[in-house]
Structures are given as C-alpha cells and as structure tokens.
Amino acid sequence: MYWFIYFLISLVAAPLLVGIINKVKAFFAGRKGPRLLQLYFDIFKLLKKDRILSNTSTIIMEICPIVNLTAVVVASALMPIAGYPSPLGFEGDIILFFYLFGLGRIATIFAALDTGSAFEGMGASREAQFSAIVELVIFTIITFLALISTGGFSLDLLLDVSITNTGVGLAITPLLLITLAFLIVLLCENCRVPFDDPETHLELTMIHEAMILDNAGPDLAIIHYAAALKLWTMSGFLVMLILPKLIINGFVTVCCYIIGIIVIGAFIGVVESILARARFVKIPQLILSAFTIALIAILLHSIFRY
Amino acid sequence: MLITTIILIICGVFIPLAINKNSRLVNMFGAGSVITLCASIACIMIQRLFSEVNYQTVTNFFAIPIIILGIAGAIHSIGYLRGHWEHKRGLYWALYFLTIFGMFSVLEQFINQNIISALLSWEMMSLASAGLVGFDTKSKLSQRAFWTYMLASNAGAAFLMLMFASADSYPILCIIFMLIGFGLKVGFPILHVWLPQAHPAAPAPVSALMSGAMLNLGVFGILLCGTIFGRDHYSLIGYILVTLGIIGSVGGILFALAQRNIKTLLAFSSIENMGIISMALGLYFITIGYGACLQSCYLALAGAIYHIINHSILKGGLFLSAGSIYKQTGTLNMEELGGLMKRMPIIGRCFAINSVGICGIPPLNGFIGELLIYVAAFYGVIYGNTCIAAISATIAIMLALTGGLACAAFSKCFGACFMGEPRTEKAEKATDGSPFMTIPVVVLTLLTIPATFLAPLIFRAINNAFGHPTFMGNVQILNCAVMIIVLLYMVFGLFYFVHNYILPGGRKIRRGPTWDCGYAKPTARMEYTGTAFAQPLVDFFSPFLRSIRKITRVKSNLFPKEANYSIETKDAGTGLFWDPIFKCLSKIFNKLHELQSGSLHFYILIMVIAILIMLIWGFAF
C-alpha cells in the first residue's frame, strides 16, 4: 500500500525534481529562475500542440517516444522503498531495471537516427558511446551490492540492507565510494553537467537535446516527462543506497525518501552551478574513473571482510 | 528408415544435380527435400521427448536451430537464387541438402558416440558448407574465404582426430585438442578468422545457417566431450572457456562496431554471441568442477543453451534480411544504403526487432537468455567461494560491456541501412522483394514471441534434458520476468492508444522537413554515416582495433576541394597472428624450394645423405 502511494507520488512529482535543480541553479547564478512547476506547464502546453513529424521519419519515430516512456515507467514501478518491496519485484529484477533504461535509450537512439539529421546522428553517436561504457560501471556497482548482500538478489534486498550489511566505521568507506560511483552514473545517464548540459543552445555540444531536435508537441512532452521520471527513479536508487533501513512508520519512510531525493536534486543543482561541461574526449575518462572507484570499493570491501 | 533416407538423399542431391536446367523443378525438389528432411527430424525429436531413454533430448536444443534455419533458409534461397547462378542451381541445392544432412548426422553420431561416423559427418558438413561459401567462383573474395574456411575446418577435423587419439592417455593434451578442434567451428578468438571472411562471401541463407546453426555444433561438441573428462579437469576447461569467452565477446563486438559491410558486422556479432555462450559454459564447468554453488551452475548452463536458441532465431533473421538487402540493392556496404525502412517496410521492421533482440534488450527473447546468465553470475558472486565470485563478477561486468557495445553496433547497422534518406541510387529503388524472401524473415521474427513467453517451459525442458533439478526459485525468476514483459506490452498499448487516439483530439499529424539547423532542404549527404556514428567508440578503442585511416586531399589554393576519408578495420586475428605465421612458413618453404634446383648431382647427394641417416638410425636404435 505504502509502496503504491510512493509510486503514485513519484509519477506525479517527478517533474518537480527538475524544477528544484533549476531553482538551485538560478539561486547560484543570482537569477530568479523559472518557476518550480515550470516543467508541468511546459508538458501541459506541449500536450495541447499538434504533432509534427519529419518527412524522412518512419514508424520508428512515431512509436519510440512511447517505448521510452513505457520502459521508464515500468522501471520505476520496479523500485522498492525501504521495507516495502515493489509488487513486481523478483530475484534479478535489478538487471531488468537497468536494461529497461537500456530499452528507453536504444529507442531514443533509433528515433534520432530516423530523422536523418546530422545533429541527431551526432547526439545518438555520443549517447551510444557513453552509455556503452556506463554499462560497465553500473554492473560493477551491482556486483558490489551482490557481494554485500546476505543472500537474495532482488532490488529490495540488495538496496534495503546495504548500510546494515557493511557495518559502520571504517567498513562503510566502500559503500561511500560506490555511492560516489553511482552519482557519476546518475549524472551521465540523465545527461547532466559535466556530461551534457541540458541548457545548451548549440546543437554541436548537445547529447540528449540533440537527439530530440525533431520531436515536437506531445512527443516532446513525453520525452521530457520520461527524462524527469528517470532522474527521479535513479535518484531514488541513490537514496536507497545511502539511507539505512527505516522501519518506523510507512508515512515517515516515504517522507524520508522524498526528502532524500529532493536533497539529491539540490546537490545536482549545486554540481551544475559550480562545474562546467567536460570536453567530449574527457567524458569516457570520467566514466572510467567511476569504474575504477567502484572497483576500488569492491577491493576494499574484500579486504575489510577477510 | 534407411529407405526413407536413401530416397531423401536421391531427391535432395542427385535429382537437383540431374535436372539442373529446369529452374522451377530444381527449386521444388531442392527446397522440398530440405523441408522434408527437417520435418522428419522434427518428428523424431518430438517422438524422443516421450520416449524412456532421454539422454538424446540434449540434441533437441541443437537440432531446433537447424530445423528452423534449414527451412527458413530453403525458402529464402528460392528468392535469393532468382537471377543468380542460373546454371548452378542443382549444385547449390545438393550442397545445401548435404550441409543440413551433415549437421543432423553430426548431432546423432556424437550423441551415440560413433566416433568414426561422427568425424565423417563432421567432415561432410564442413565440405558441403565450404562448397557453398565458395559458390561464387568469379569473386576473388569468395575464393579467399573458401580457402580460409577449408583450412580452418580441415584443421579442426584434424584436431578432433588427435583428440580422439589422445583421449585415453593424455587428458590435458586431449582437452587442448578438443578446444582447438571445436573452437575452430565455434569461432573462439584467434581461431575465428574464417568467420568474418566466410559470412560475407556465402549466400545469405547459407550465412544464416552457418552462423545460427553450425557454430552451435562446436558448442555442442565441447559440452558433450567436456563432460567426459571428469571432475579434475572441469575447472581447467572452465577457466579456458571463460577467458576465451571474455576476449571473444568484447573483442567480437568491438570489431563488429567498426565494420562497414553488414554481413561482416553480423559475423563479428556471431563471434560475440558465441563468446557470451562460452562464458556461460565456462561458469558451468567451473562451478561443477568445484562442486559448489549449484544454482549458479544449472542457471549458467540453461542460460547458455537458451542463448544458443535465441541467437539462432535472431541472427538467422538478421542474415536473411541482409540477404534481402543485397538482393535489392546489390551492395552490403552500409554507407551506400539508407532510407530502406520506407522502401522495405517489412524487412525493416523485422530487422529493427531482431537487432533490439540480439542486444539482449527487453522485451525480446535475447533478454531472457542474458538474464539467466546474469543471475547465474550474480548467484556465483553471492553464494560462491572467492574464486567463483571473482570469475562470476568478471563475467557479469564483461557481459554488461558487451551489451552496451552491441547496442551501439546494432544501432549503427540499423540506422545506417534503414534510417534517413537513401545515400545512393541503388538504395532508392529497393523494395521488399518476393514473398519467398520476406516470409522466412517474418516467421523468424515472430518466433521471438514464443521464445520469450515460453521461457519457463523452455527452462524446464533444458534442465530435464541435462538431468538437472529445476529449482522453483529459478522458474519464479522467469515467470516474473515474462509477467513484467507482458506488463510492458500492456503499458505500451495503453500509452500508444492514448497518444494516438485520445490526445490528438481529432487533430492530424503534420509533416515537415527534418530540422537541420536552418538548412531548408537537408540531403542524404548531410546525414550521419555509420562510420561517423561509430567513430567515437572506434577511436576510444583504437589501441585494440588498429583501424587504418586514409585521407586523400586534392591540393587546392583558396577554396578546399573535395576530400576523401575512409577508415577500415581489419580482423586482428588475421593481421596480427595468422599472417605473420603463414608468411614465416612460406619463407621457410621458399628456402626449401631451393633444394629443387634441377641439378642431378644435388639430388643424388640428398639421397645419399638420407640413406646415411637411415642407416645410422637403424644401427643406433
């Protein structure tokens, strides 16, 4: 029941997170910034508009935004919250969880290539490159979670007990390192600074935005919403990773998690305000450094355990 | 039984050869007898499922791909042969029949342990398929591929003989011979050289058959012969398989990414998939070697077998689609294609579905196989001892990297061939082609549906065939995964309905040109090419790939003139390993050639020396 409430909240509140990030960025820049609910207005406005498709495009372009949305929604339905596993969860759902994001990504890449635009091809190419390497980091993180797991391989078992398993004190360092690695993954997967600048206006420097140049109206609304929901879900994953198991009261738990997600949103805002977008050639190095961090975490954990 | 077989061989081999002239009759006899053969084998398989002796049911999982791809390839061939090789059709059908016949008898003879007939049928399969690889006698590429393939398969057969010869006395040597002998068929790294040459050269139905069904037979051989050696050697086999699998999968997909030719790309992707399968098999061997972590062990084997079936269906569909593209446009170079989705809607949709499937992305069957392998690997991490955990973790991480790179490679292939506008005139006139060519592709694509939704059943069947217990927890995983895939389809249907029928509220979709930063009329020349798409990754992995770049600029004064840029990635196995060896060998033999000087005195001297050596040998020992 609490899980269901949380799921509904996350479906509704997901665009809010983007608003929070933008508010924080505006605060750092000394601007007033867009309203907190700006993305809701944008989505609502776009939904009312006509659908425009390119002459070149085919059925791929028509269905891919919906495939993307479906994948992200189902993935977010797999996320548990502390003590309340998702009714869809099963052993190994963590693989499905990340592969569903993969489905959304390949749908976006196909749609981008469908238009035959040079910029969209460029964006798709970059996305394909970075996501291939990010996959490496994600599964290293899952390996770490499996190592500290006490038996059982479902999202809720892996995430829920993470801090209780490593213990406190020095033994917590590997978990902190893993959190850092996942934070880098989160920034990359959701196209935030320093991997991609969501606010850039130059097509040549875009990744995600370049891939959706030819989407308009309801399609664009769907893509914006899916991106926001993905950010929310992955932030939820990060919160689960660092927060200890809370079995107090269902309502309090849900509140704690939502507050955690908001804090992460604010943190992303701070990161975006103080960092510049990295050069494209540097990005693989950044992702590989996350991979190294995750590997070090695994090694440290092995050392502490034995 | 014998009489039926003889009649089938006469209909499948001799009659097509005899009535070469009448193309319709040849097709009828050739395709008819292939389909009859496959259907009768299918009947035998079903009969076996209900019989008492069920050790033979293991062959079912390897026979299914042969049956499916044999029939699909036979029907596709009818369309493919139209306008090609008019005078040689009888030969084509005879060789095609013999290849399939050889593959079935390999399965049958190996499982019944008739070593001599097993080797004979192995050789028949290799020779018949070699004939098909070199079928295009006018093309130099095809002839080179023929020689490489002949060398590889004959060397493989030789190593298999050595394996049987050394089986009793030298187990370690025997294992190495086995891995080389079967590995030459599977396409392990370094031994894979024939794959990227033979697949582009062979006719598409033959490539589909070879990639989807014949490579599996190598895995079958390793699985069957590997279990003979006993516990002590399982771990050794396992470690070798995992190492080869990791190199093969990551290396294979990286080289696939850098290719321009669709069929070369698919061939490298086959190497990748065989790598994934051998990783899973390796995990199976290691875990039974330690006798620990049995959940992981059974899951790994089931994952490997499941992946074999998935790979056959998906890769078969992809190769047949590539055949349709070749037939329509006359080229396999991705950079000359583009915009085929509008011109070949059926093939395009099937290609999209198959390429998503082969990347292991849900909701298609490729995901189920990879899920099994992942869960096996992570169970190894959770429950295994330090050694198993380390190996499993490596497998899981490498599988993930492979998956990510496969997405890039297949989005490159699909994007460059089917999306955007046609880049050349060849691509502009393409159509779906004759129903003989589209129907097999569609059927293969539709087969992904039962391969996805019957996952729990297939999993049970695999466990039963190998005599492994089926854990309820593992079936539960598949049940849940299938359920979520159903949910995925339902949610998609709902969103699609809302998006297309409720949201627009009667407004029509507007069409416009692609927005290309202010260009009013973007052309195909502005599109991102496949090479450009893959360039960042190819650059990133350039130390491994060693691509050769060529830039030709015409010297110009003020305004730049047309320039050319091309990049080619050649197979590292050939360039770095085999070529130097063969060059060295040919140098030695050239030196030896000097012995044949033509002077009589010299020959007599050699003979005298030889006789002297023999005399000394005789007295000394």
Q: How far apart are CA B408 and CA B359, in angstroms?
A: 9
- Tell me the Ramachandran region of residue A19: left when phi exceeds 0, alpha when psi lies from -120 to 50, beta otherwise: alpha
Question: What phi, psi does B608 have (nearest 5°)?
Answer: -60, -45
Please list every residue in chain A whose beta carbon sits closer than 8 Å to the beta carbon of residue B480.
88-91, 93
Q: How far apart are CA B201 and CA B208, in angstroms?
A: 12
Find the CB nearest A121 among B363, B367, B527: B527
Helix (H, G, I), strand (E, B) or coil at A151: coil
- pLDDT of residue A249 exceeding 70: no
Q: Is B383 on the interface with A (CB under 8 A)?
A: yes
Q: Do B375 and A93 touch (CB under 8 A)?
A: no
Find the residue in B nearest to A74 (Cα).
B488
**Residue found by looking up tokens 């972590």 in the block:** B293
Find the CB nearest A96 among B341, B362, B476: B362
Q: How far apart are CA B166 and CA B143, in angstroms?
A: 34
Smallest CA–CA distance, residue A276 to chain B, in Å, is: 21
Structural domain spans, chain B: 2-489, 579-620
pLDDT for A265 equals: 93
pLDDT for A161 equals: 62
What pLDDT band is residue A56 in, cutting at 50, 70 and 90?
confident
Block means of pLDDT (10 residues each) for chain B, 621 residues, are 84 82 83 90 84 73 93 93 81 92 91 88 92 87 90 91 85 90 91 91 93 93 84 88 94 92 94 95 91 84 94 95 92 90 93 94 92 93 88 94 95 92 88 90 94 92 86 90 94 93 83 76 81 90 85 80 82 84 92 82 90 90 71
**Residue found by looking up tokens 């406190």 in the block:** A168
pLDDT for B520 equals: 66
Q: For residue A188, what are the contacts with CB-CB under 8 A and spacing of at least 6? A: A130, A134, A195, A283, A286, A287
Please list every residue in chain B whose beta carbon sits closer than 8 Å to the beta carbon of residue A126.
536
Find the CB nearest B532 among A67, A125, A140: A125
Q: Is B42 on the interface with A (CB under 8 A)?
A: no
Find the CB nearest A113 among B342, B411, B526: B411
Find the CB nearest A143 among B349, B356, B396: B396
Q: How far apart are CA A239 and CA A256, in angstroms?
A: 9
pLDDT for B353 equals: 95
Q: Do B401 and A93 touch (CB under 8 A)?
A: no
Number of domains observed in the structure of chain A: 1
In the predicted model, what is the mean pLDDT of chain A?
A: 88
Structure tokens at B179: 């891995």
Question: What phi, psi does B512 have (nearest 5°)?
Answer: -155, 175
Write down the H helix ranges in chain A.
Answer: 2-29, 38-47, 59-78, 93-114, 118-148, 155-160, 162-166, 173-189, 208-211, 218-242, 250-274, 283-305
- pLDDT of residue A224 exceeding 90: yes
Q: Is B346 on the interface with A (CB under 8 A)?
A: no
Question: What phi, psi does B565 have (nearest 5°)?
Answer: -130, 130
Q: How many Cα atoms sit within 13 Å of B51 on the Cβ side? A: 11
Question: What phi, psi does B187 have (nearest 5°)?
Answer: 90, 50
Please list every residue in chain A whose beta carbon sits closer than 8 Å to the beta carbon of residue B363.
103
**For residue A235, which of A189, A168, A287 has the smallest C-alpha distance?**
A189
Q: Do A47 and B503 touch (CB under 8 A)?
A: yes
* Inter-chain Cβ pairs, chain A and chain B, closer than 8 A: 250
Q: Is B316 on the interface with A (CB under 8 A)?
A: no
Give the Cβ contact number of residue B575 at 10 Å: 14
Find the residue in B nearest to A127 (Cα).
B408
Q: How far apart are CA B369 and CA B365, in angstroms?
A: 7
Give the Cβ contact number of residue B521 at 10 Å: 8
What pLDDT band is residue A113 in, cutting at 50, 70 and 90?
very high
The ipTM assigned to this model is 0.95
Please list every residue in chain A whose beta carbon sits closer than 8 Å to the beta carbon of residue B481.
90, 92, 96
Q: How far apart are CA B229 and CA B209, in angstroms?
A: 31
Q: pLDDT digit string (tens) for A151-180?
A: 678 887 777 665 565 566 677 888 889 999
Q: Which candidate in B388, B476, B488 is best for mutational testing of the A interface (most A CBs within 10 A)?
A: B488
Smallest CA–CA distance, residue A128 to chain B, in Å, is: 5
pLDDT for A198 equals: 79
Please list every residue in chain A whose beta carbon sits closer than 8 Å to the beta carbon of residue B400.
135-136, 138-139
Q: How far apart are CA B85 and CA B131, in angstroms?
A: 14
Please list every residue in chain B whose beta carbon sits closer than 8 Å to the beta carbon of residue A118.
516-517, 522, 526-528
Smallest CA–CA distance, residue B345 to chain A, in Å, is: 9
What pLDDT band is residue A246 in, cutting at 50, 70 and 90?
low
- The parent domain of residue A56 ranges over 2-305
